[in-house]
């Protein structure tokens, strides 16, 4: 049977040694104060209803359905992580536009300002799908992440509801 032995010393480090099976497997935790995260905050949310987006207006996307929220950091279409670190944020939107042309854009905002954005030039096909991925630092106290969109299709357009409009995020490394 496998076992984990925890042994510390006065230097402030703790080393976890796994049983020797086909070699040595040692995990050494750094000497640091605070919490060592094994599983950081993560969330996934999508739209609950169709949302109308006005022409030529930067609009926050309403994400009304939480798929999961491991640390209760997602509310009111906003992710506010309480653990400082680097977060992978992914998002996508889908416009069902009909026969129009113009630019569709999607943005990840941090604290009310754009962190990353992407654009798609649409030509009368009736659909515009956009996706984005970014890695950003959050301080664990005041930083928050939101999803925004913009289009120049001439008139108000709807973004679909359900899993085609989403934002996900997960901590990939502590600060």
Rounded to whole angstroms, what are the CA distances from 27 to 6, 19, 49, 64?
Answer: 11, 12, 46, 40
Contact 85, 171 (CB under 8 A): yes
In whole angstroms, give the CA distance from residue 109 to residue 145: 6
Q: 99 versus 52: which is more confidently predicted?
A: 52
The mean pLDDT of 120-142, rounded to a whole number, is 85
- Looking at residue 30, what is its pLDDT? 55
Domains and CATH numbers, the chain: 1-33 (no CATH), 40-174 (2.60.120.40)
Lowest mean pLDDT among 20-24, 76-80, 119-123, 150-154: 20-24
> Tens of pLDDT along 28-72?
555 555 555 567 899 999 999 999 999 999 999 999 999 999 999
Q: 33 versus 119: which is more confidently predicted?
A: 119
pLDDT confidence of 27, banded at 50, 70, 90?
A: very low
Rounded to whole angstroms, what are the CA distances from 32 to 13, 116, 175?
Answer: 8, 32, 11
The mean pLDDT of 69-89, rounded to a whole number, is 96
Q: 140 versus 101: which is more confidently predicted?
A: 140
Q: What is the pTM of this model?
A: 0.79
- Looking at residue 146, what is its pLDDT? 98
Contact 65, 74 (CB under 8 A): no
Q: 69 versus 12: which is more confidently predicted?
A: 69
Lowest mean pLDDT among 52-66, 110-124, 157-171: 110-124
């Amino acid at each position: 049977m496998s076992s984990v032995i925890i042994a510390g010393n006065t230097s402030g480090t703790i080393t976890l040694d796994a049983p020797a099976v086909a070699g040595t497997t040692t995990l050494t935790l750094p000497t640091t104060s605070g919490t060592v995260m094994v599983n950081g905050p993560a969330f996934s949310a999508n739209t609950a209803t169709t949302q109308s987006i006005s022409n030529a207006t930067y609009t926050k996307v309403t994400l009304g359905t939480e798929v999961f929220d491991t640390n209760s950091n997602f509310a009111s279409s906003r992710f506010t992580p309480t653990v400082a670190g680097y977060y992978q944020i992914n998002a996508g939107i889908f416009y069902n536009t009909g026969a129009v042309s113009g630019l569709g854009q999607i943005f990840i905002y941090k604290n009310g300002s754009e962190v990353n954005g992407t654009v798609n030039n649409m030509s009368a096909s009736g659909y515009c799908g956009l996706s984005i991925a970014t890695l950003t630092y959050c301080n664990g106290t005041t930083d928050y992440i939101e999803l925004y969109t913009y289009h120049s299709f001439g008139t108000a357009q709807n973004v679909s509801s359900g899993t085609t409009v989403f934002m996900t995020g997960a901590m990939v490394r502590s600060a």
